[in-house]
Amino acid sequence: MTLVYARENVTEDLLLLDIEPKHFSEEFRNLRDSQGLLHIKGCRREVLIGRSRALKFASDLDGSAVSVYKGGQAYAHLLTYVTGLLSRTRGENQVVSQFKNAYEELKMRNALSAKAMQRLSQYILHDNGVIRNHVTRSLKPAFFEACAHELSGQKGQEAVLVVANTDITGKKPDDSTENIVRYLGGKRKDAAKTIVFTHPDDSSLINVHSAFLRQKEKGKISSDVKMLPFSEAFDAVRDLQSFQRVFVCYPMDREADVDTTIIEEWGQKECFGGMLVHLGGSKKIDRVSRGKWLDPELENYISPESISDWQKDRKAQNDTTIIRGSIACQFCAEVRAEGRRPTPNNVTQTLKDGPSDIQISHYRS
């Protein structure tokens, strides 16, 4: 195994304080400013990084609210954090921006400390790239709607149809509709070109469409937003032909006529390709097929049970990848402690026999 020589051991005397946001007191702010500590501001944690001498100035560290890491463990924990392995959405890129912003903020607050931590910043960003590109790249969101979107095979530059559901007031989209639109129309290169909404009730449809138009105006949705009356959207010889992906958030078995129309019209259309995805409803207890959906006799159809099964397997694969990523972070810390630079080859060499990607075809009807 070949290790590339680096100039110094950046882990020596390194200190990291991982603090719950609600416990980030004025004392920690004073410690940060007086000791020139790097401060990463996250949603689930506040992280201070510096040298261990700063501990002399910390009068009280509550073990239940603050975790203290030193040396190589501090480097490994920081790298685990920056690679997104500790985030709610595992592997997210936002934490990299948080780290970069923290370093830029330190340069403005304490230029001398920033210069002393410049090499640490460079090494963390380098090792983050190695781990993301060669260890954790298979991490994907395991939320229910994210798995529904992944199973559908939706690709960019296509129009998708969403049978929306509203909250109890009938004036706003429910959580399931909001979440699936987040994955369909977010700021991604493969976002749907157009999202067309429909709903059995015309007034509810207008409310849903207006809500997403406002999101579009605020830049939260990159896709174009349109609406179609339910009778027109589910006409197999007309508008339904234009959609390769249809996502149903409207609850199963709420209205038998609605279920019958969707099943019959899609049954005529599916011979031309595409995929119908039913999310069951807005609550977890709704994610079970019932009524006419128990046996819809459709070929290109993904049921709520299939989404749930895929979600379980996606979580299991993510858990395995997270363990591998954590091992890789610890390995990088050990290599840096030796004054060397980890490379993709020697990182992956330590993680032989990793998990293979699960296949989505098994989950599609």
302-326 pLDDT, tens digit each: 999 999 999 999 999 999 999 999 9
Higher pLDDT: 59 or 334? It is 334
d(CA 341, CA 334): 10
Higher pLDDT: 42 or 352? It is 42
Q: What are phi and psi of 340, to 5 degrees?
A: -120, 165
**Average pLDDT value for residue range 222-226:** 94
d(CA 356, CA 365): 23
d(CA 49, CA 79): 12
Specify the pLDDT at position 71. Answer: 94
**Average pLDDT value for residue range 118-146:** 92
The SS3 assignment for 301 reads strand
* Structure-block tokens of residue 16: 């990291």
Cα torsion 319, 321, 327, 329: sign = negative
- All residues at 6 or more sequence positions from 143 whose CB lies less than 8 Å from its CB, including other chains: 179, 311
- Tell how many helices (H) and how many strands (E) occur in the chain: 12, 12
d(CA 278, CA 144): 12
pLDDT band at 59 (very low <50, low <70, confident <90, very high): low
Specify the pLDDT at position 130. Answer: 94
Q: For residue 37, is pLDDT > 60?
A: yes
Q: For residue 33, is pLDDT > 90?
A: yes
| 174 close to 139: Cβ distance less than 8 angstroms | no
pLDDT band at 228 (very low <50, low <70, confident <90, very high): very high
d(CA 350, CA 353): 10
Lowest mean pLDDT among 121-130, 216-225, 345-354: 345-354
**Domains of the chain in sequence order:** 4-134+317-363 (3.30.460), 144-302 (3.40.50.720)
* Structure-block tokens of residue 165: 């559901």
Task: Dump pLDDT digits (tens) for 7-21.
Answer: 578 899 999 999 998
Task: Dump pLDDT digits (tens) for 167-183.
Answer: 999 899 999 999 999 99
* Structure-block tokens of residue 51: 């040298």
d(CA 161, CA 141): 22
Q: For residue 351, is pLDDT > 90?
A: no
Cα torsion 126, 130, 133, 139: sign = negative
| pTM metric for this prediction | 0.80
Task: Pick the closest to residue 72 from 342, 319, 305 (CA basis).
Answer: 342
**Average pLDDT value for residue range 255-260:** 96
Specify the pLDDT at position 1. Answer: 44
pLDDT band at 157 (very low <50, low <70, confident <90, very high): confident
